[in-house]
Chains A and B, each alone.
Chain A
Amino acid sequence: MSVASGVRFGEWEVVVGLEVHTQLLTKTKLFCRCENRFGASPNTLVCPVCLGHPGTLPVLNGEAVRLGVRAGLAAGCRVSPVSVFERKHYFYPDLPKGYQISQYATPLLTGGGLRIRTGAGERTIRIHRMHLEEDAGKNLHAGIPDRSHVDLNRAGVPLL
């Protein structure tokens, strides 16, 4: 998430924060061995873990952590020597476990920023934090009356 500020409209100051979901180019998902790939037939890149079957446990993909740290170093973030995964709960058909594994209190990366060029010269967009989390699947409704189709290929894809 980044925050830019400084543009004024009369007595108002515009503050813009962006939440960016970046898919990491790992071979497999964040907590299972399913392929991390876009465009496959629905529900073909799934297994008991990312389908939220009973008895399954997440196993962290080390490559996702490595890529996350690499992005953080490039952006001048502080890398937390200990970072913690937590569960964010809500019910929705594209969320197999009833919670998303994300990072909350102790993210992988904090601080840093990106330098960009603008019409008014170079600016630094500060980074508040970057953390790892799993993506949800997707619900499809277009052209299918009275039904929801759920594709869980994306469930468990690593996001930064």
Chain B
Amino acid sequence: MKNPFFSSVADFVRGRDERRFSIEEVTRYFLSRTEALNPSLNVCLSINQNAVNRARQIDARLVRNRADSPLTGYPVMVKDNLEMEGYPTTCASRILSGYISRRTATAVARLLSRGVVVLGKTNLDEFAMGSSTENSAFGPTKNPWNPARVPGGSSGGSAAAVAAGLAPLALGSDTGGSIRQPAAFCGVLGVKPTYGRISRSGLVAFSSSLDQIGPFAGSGADALEALVAMSGKDPLDMTTVERDPSEMHSEYQSTEVRGLRIGIPEALFGEGLDPSIRERLMEVREALTGEGAREMEVTLPHSRFGINVYYLVATSEASSNLSRFDGVRYGFRVKKPADLRAMYEETRDQGFGDEVKRRILLGTFALSAGYQEAFYRKARKVQALIRKDFIEAFERCDMILTPTSPTPPFAFGEKTGDPLSMYLSDVYTITANLAGLPALSVPVGVDSQGLPVGAHLIGPPWSEGRLLKMADRIAGLYPMPLPEVHAGHVAGSPEGGRR
């Protein structure tokens, strides 16, 4: 996570404006570190060959004018399900092989307009479906803390990039925990914003009613800068909401730990939670009450249906959203199919991986004639009840604290044979997506095996500023050690099909 130039966005701004370093120097440093570590970590699916040129252009601009944004010249990596015009977007799937994007995702475009330098595009579970990055067609990403462990998923590449110091900031997408769970597994901060805060135009859709884009960063203050830059109404995404992004800055400034009411769903600290993670979380609770926060018991009675509802809603929407990948207009298509039907069947059979096919099948079944009312529509009704539980809980507390993941980062292959146990990785994070709420994972030290542990904060709609401030306060109580990553450390590890 450390780099020789700066320790935060604020420190970057000072260094840049005092000309302690050039943007080209910084860009070259991260690119060469990526070049050295990527063969073993498999974080990046493509490196931006234009990054140094862009850095030079920014340097040239900075000679004449002051930077107009804290992020001018800041290096960023982007999950490879977010589009950049003229670059491949693979979604870590064979079915998009050869596809070059025609447009740039609004979230990325807004960062680019502030002058960021995109270093590369990061690995993910195919179409963001998974919790370990093992479902990538290009091989799994390794956890920088321990190369025998998964980095989490689906945004595992972006989380590992920040943890291993290949970029100080990376973008992910979160449908059921795909930013927060890998953030916890890799010991970095990851935020899923309120539904409607950030435009999804240019994000390849998985589950449209749940997907949100968000940042991975070293701190809440750094994540805040990226969030503010990306947020706001976008005419290209009708689900975005008109809200002033700077409200996050002011709420970050005004939030104090003293007097803050922290909701604790005690049921979530019991059965099924790894004892070592529980211990860390109990320490965090104690430290926060020591700082003057007040704990309130909250109950979220419908949250126990979260996984069930999620795997109906998300698979139904996925089966619909992925029907456009048919081999007709772009991407992969089988050679010389016998007829039209064979072209569809063989293209989709060979183009998609097993987990994607599993979810398409589940979703197609749930939406099929006669079952839609019993499955998808009923799930949407329970989803509304889950949201209502949270809104009621937030009448009595300012945020809710839970673990991010029930287990520490698991080993490669440990859960691939048992989809249900893999799905349970998301048990704490999924409800925030179902309720459309902002949530984040902040690192709170390591467990007995030296693997990172994350604390999960969920807030009422639009409370990102408050959550990020709290994350920084918690991180202040728990200085994280850094993973020792060097090329030799992870070399020779087994999996990892290269492109």
B83 interface contact, C-beta 8 A: yes
Query: A55 contacts B105, CB within 8 Å?
Result: yes
Query: B328 contacts A54, CB within 8 Å?
Result: no
Query: A99 contacts B96, CB within 8 Å?
Result: no
Chain B, interface residues (CB within 8 Å), range: 20 to 34
| Bound Cα distance A53, B91 (Å) | 13
Query: B91 contacts A54, CB within 8 Å?
Result: yes
Main secondary structure of the interface of A (DSSP, over half): loop
Query: A89 contacts B323, CB within 8 Å?
Result: yes
| Bound Cα distance A55, B202 (Å) | 4
Query: B320 contacts A59, CB within 8 Å?
Result: no
Query: B103 contacts A48, CB within 8 Å?
Result: yes
| Contact of A55 with B204 at beta-carbon distance under 8 Å, contacts A48-B103, A60-B238, A87-B320 already known | yes
| Bound Cα distance A64, B103 (Å) | 26
A150 interface contact, C-beta 8 A: yes
| Bound Cα distance A80, B202 (Å) | 32
Query: B201 contacts A55, CB within 8 Å?
Result: yes
Query: B103 contacts A59, CB within 8 Å?
Result: no
How many inter-chain residue pairs (CB < 8 Å) link A and B? 67
A56 interface contact, C-beta 8 A: yes
Cβ distance A126 to chain B, nearest Cβ, rounded Å: 27
B186 interface contact, C-beta 8 A: no
Query: B102 contacts A53, CB within 8 Å?
Result: yes
Query: A150 contacts B328, CB within 8 Å?
Result: yes
B101, B235, B323: residue with the most chain A Cβ atoms closer than 10 Å:
B323
B63 interface contact, C-beta 8 A: no
| Bound Cα distance A56, B201 (Å) | 6
Query: A97 contacts B323, CB within 8 Å?
Result: yes
Query: A93 contacts B103, CB within 8 Å?
Result: no
Query: A99 contacts B105, CB within 8 Å?
Result: no
Query: A97 contacts B235, CB within 8 Å?
Result: no
| Contact of A91 with B102 at beta-carbon distance under 8 Å, contacts A57-B237, A57-B238, A96-B324 already known | no
Contacts of A48 in B (CB 8 A): 102-103
B203 interface contact, C-beta 8 A: yes
A17 interface contact, C-beta 8 A: no
Contacts of B238 in A (CB 8 A): 57-60
Cβ distance B434 to chain A, nearest Cβ, rounded Å: 20
Cβ distance B234 to chain A, nearest Cβ, rounded Å: 9
Query: A54 contacts B324, CB within 8 Å?
Result: yes
What residue in chain B is nearest A90 (Cβ atoms)?
B323
Query: B99 contacts A99, CB within 8 Å?
Result: no
Cβ distance B370 to chain A, nearest Cβ, rounded Å: 15
Query: A54 contacts B236, CB within 8 Å?
Result: no
Chain A residues engaging chain B, CB cutoff 8 angstroms: 48, 51-60, 87, 89, 91, 93, 96-99, 148, 150
Pick 7 A–B contacts, CB within 8 A, sort by A: A52-B329, A53-B329, A53-B330, A55-B103, A57-B237, A59-B235, A89-B320
